[in-house]
Amino acid sequence: MAKPEFDLVVIGGGAGGLVVAAGGVALGAKVALVEKHKLGGDCLWYGCVPSKTLLKSARIAHEMRHADRWALDPAPPQPDLARVMTRVAGVIESIEPNDSPERFRGLGVDVIFGAGRFVDPKTFEVDGRRLTAKAFVIAAGAIESARILLEINRSSAELMFPRSASIGRYLSDRGWPEVAQKW
């Protein structure tokens, strides 16, 4: 059996995948990072960052209306959605260099763009390129990770996600109560 090309292949370039890839390289591993869209994932481009930026603008508008709580005269905010969205884009733009392919290549990560699939337990194929590794981390988000698991080993996935429950129901009925108890 040939020696694997990588110590670690990370599938998914969102927040989790980026941390794993950077950590692997920092520990001396030869790492490949596979992403089918843009590094930064949903958190940077569509979820966490834009939503928290919008919420911050809404919070400031609320505080302006209720400034009397801080012994200041309240002022009616005059929101301009175009300006708010320009700010959202600016916040994303300020964070994006930290999640960029250039940064990760500079760290020593082999960044590969494209959709892929497992062809066997030690090989992940992306646009015809076969990546072999000692270990794989699937950091592709809940839905995509479940799809990949189904491809790898349907019987293992069925143990995790029983047929009687959809993935969403499984997470909401079984996963979240456990998480909530820890908080």
Taking the C-alpha atoms of residue 122 and residue 139, their distance in angstroms, rounded to an integer, is 17
Pick from 18-32, 65-79, 130-144: least confident: 130-144
Residue 111 has pLDDT above 90, yes or no: yes
Residue 29 has pLDDT above 90, yes or no: yes
Q: What would be the CATH architecture of the domain defined by 6-39+101-152?
A: 3-Layer(bba) Sandwich (3.50)
CA distances from 36 to 103, 109, 144 (A): 18, 16, 11
| CATH 3.50.50.60 intervals, the chain | 6-39+101-152
Closest-CA residue to 12 (of 143, 171, 174, 181): 143
Task: Label residue 34 by pLDDT band (50, 70, 90).
Answer: very high
Give the H or E element holding residue 135. Answer: strand 129-138
Pick from 66-75, 89-98, 160-169: least confident: 160-169
Taking the C-alpha atoms of residue 69 and residue 72, their distance in angstroms, rounded to an integer, is 7
The three-class DSSP label of residue 116 is: strand
Chain centroid offset of residue 169 CA: 21
